[in-house]
């Protein structure tokens, strides 16, 4: 079965938003920026209507069913972290409550306090079709689309106070901005050849290409689905390139009033302001 037969999305940038009537709907973003409303379920059957829609608030393009993430997946980032090149992809999870929408704030934790909150630009892959033990040559049939992610990380909780586990430092509320659009795979012929960048207050901090990945997207899907069912709506963060704040001399961490933008070729730009947790 070809990819086109398995998932009916073609040549699209899909956005999710709240309408002026407070409905949550998906739409197909047109080249001129206008949005045509989608009727139905983007994971199954749907149609793009002729109805132009006004988005009163843009949301992350999907509500994830799980957020899986790969650590140390870019050669130069493994080097700057002082880590060995891993033998297998390094898997950790982020809490579903970490989801944040485009334009909404990243909140610096003040209750469970962190002073070392960092940005990580990542290519996010959204699974559209359930699968298990997926060989790399079939991985594309399970991909609904791609979007930008910021794998926001409290380094103090990730390292000193996390007991060796990444999950605490990566799962605070608002620590997983996603968006702005879900771009179908036929718009991205090679996910291993995309420029990927982070801007902090307009200054470029990470400037790389997905070609520096140690494990490419098909290898990640083959590994994550090994003896493990991947369900529709699973979001996979595929690792971050060099240039994170913690590896700089001196280190740079996010401060209230900052603005972080993640940009990936062919997908778009995901921008979030930074605030202290109220
Ligand atoms: Zn990451």
Residues of the chain with pLDDT under 70: 1-10
Question: Does residue 52 fall inside a structural domain?
Answer: no
> What is the phi-psi region of residue 103: left when phi exceeds 0, alpha when psi lies from -120 to 50, beta otherwise?
left
Tally of domains in the chain:
1
How far is the centre of ligand 1, averaged over its atoms, from the C-alpha of 46 (Å)?
32
Question: Does residue 137 fall inside a structural domain?
Answer: yes
- Do 11 and 184 touch, CB atoms closer than 8 A? yes
What's the CA angle centered on 74, arms 201 and 61, to 5 degrees? Answer: 60
Phi, psi of 223 (to 5 degrees): -70, -50
Rounded to whole angstroms, the Cα distance separating 215 from 99 reads 25
* pLDDT at position 48: 92
Give 44: exposed, middle or buried? Use CB within 10 Å, 0-12, 13-18, 19+.
exposed
* pLDDT at position 3: 40
Question: Does residue 27 fall inside a structural domain?
Answer: no
How far is the centre of ligand 1, averaged over its atoms, from the C-alpha of 237 (Å)?
7
Place of tokens 């197909």: 28
Rounded to whole angstroms, the Cα distance separating 8 from 144 reads 9
Place of tokens 């070609």: 211
Domain extent, residue 272, equals 62-276
Q: Are strands 268-276 and 106-108 parallel, antiparallel or unpaired?
A: parallel
Output the pTM of the full model: 0.95
Neighbours of ion ligand 1 (CB under 5 A): 120, 151, 240
Question: Does residue 53 fall inside a structural domain?
Answer: no
How far is the centre of ligand 1, averaged over its atoms, from the C-alpha of 170 (Å)?
9
Q: List, for residues 45-84, the tens digit of each pLDDT value.
A: 889 999 998 888 999 999 999 999 999 999 998 888 888 8
- Strand, helix or coil at 222? helix
Rounded to whole angstroms, the Cα distance separating 134 from 151 reads 25
How far is the centre of ligand 1, averaged over its atoms, from the C-alpha of 94 (Å)?
10
Q: Are strands 195-200 and 259-264 parallel, antiparallel or unpaired?
A: antiparallel
How far is the centre of ligand 1, averaged over its atoms, from the C-alpha of 240 (Å)?
5
H-run or E-run covering 5? helix 3-6
Question: Does residue 83 fall inside a structural domain?
Answer: yes
Question: Does residue 29 fall inside a structural domain?
Answer: no
* pLDDT at position 9: 56
CATH number for position 218: 3.90.850.10
How far is the centre of ligand 1, averaged over its atoms, from the C-alpha of 24 (Å)?
29
Cis peptide before 164 (omega within 30 of 0): no
How far is the centre of ligand 1, averaged over its atoms, from the C-alpha of 224 (Å)?
16
How far is the centre of ligand 1, averaged over its atoms, from the C-alpha of 166 (Å)?
10
* pLDDT at position 106: 98
């Amino acid at each position: 079965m070809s990819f086109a037969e398995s998932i009916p999305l073609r040549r699209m940038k899909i956005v999710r938003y709240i309408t002026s009537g407070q409905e949550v709907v998906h739409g197909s973003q047109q080249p001129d920026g206008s949005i045509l409303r989608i009727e139905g379920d983007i994971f199954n059957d749907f149609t793009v209507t002729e109805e132009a829609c006004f988005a009163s608030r843009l949301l992350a393009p999907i509500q994830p069913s799980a957020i899986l993430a790969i650590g140390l997946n870019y050669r130069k980032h493994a080097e700057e972290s002082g880590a060995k090149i891993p033998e297998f992809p390094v898997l950790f999870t982020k809490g579903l409550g970490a989801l944040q929408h485009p334009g909404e704030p990243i909140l610096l934790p003040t209750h469970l306090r962190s002073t070392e909150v960092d940005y990580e630009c990542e290519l996010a892959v959204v699974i559209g079709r359930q699968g298990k033990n997926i060989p790399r040559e079939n991985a594309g049939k399970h991909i609904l689309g791609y979007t930008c992610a910021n794998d926001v990380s409290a380094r103090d909780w990730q390292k000193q106070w996390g007991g060796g586990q990444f999950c605490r430092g990566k799962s605070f509320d608002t620590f997983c901005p996603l968006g702005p659009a879900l771009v179908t795979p036929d718009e991205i012929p090679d996910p291993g050849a995309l420029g990927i960048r982070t801007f902090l207050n307009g200054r470029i901090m990470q400037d790389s290409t997905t070609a520096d990945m140690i494990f490419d997207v098909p290898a990640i899907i083959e590994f994550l689905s090994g003896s493990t069912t991947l369900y529709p709506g699973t979001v996979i963060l595929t690792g971050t390139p060099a240039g994170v704040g913690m590896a700089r001399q001196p280190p740079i961490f996010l401060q209230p009033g900052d603005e972080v933008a993640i940009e990936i070729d062919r997908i778009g730009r995901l921008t979030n302001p930074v605030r202290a947790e109220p």
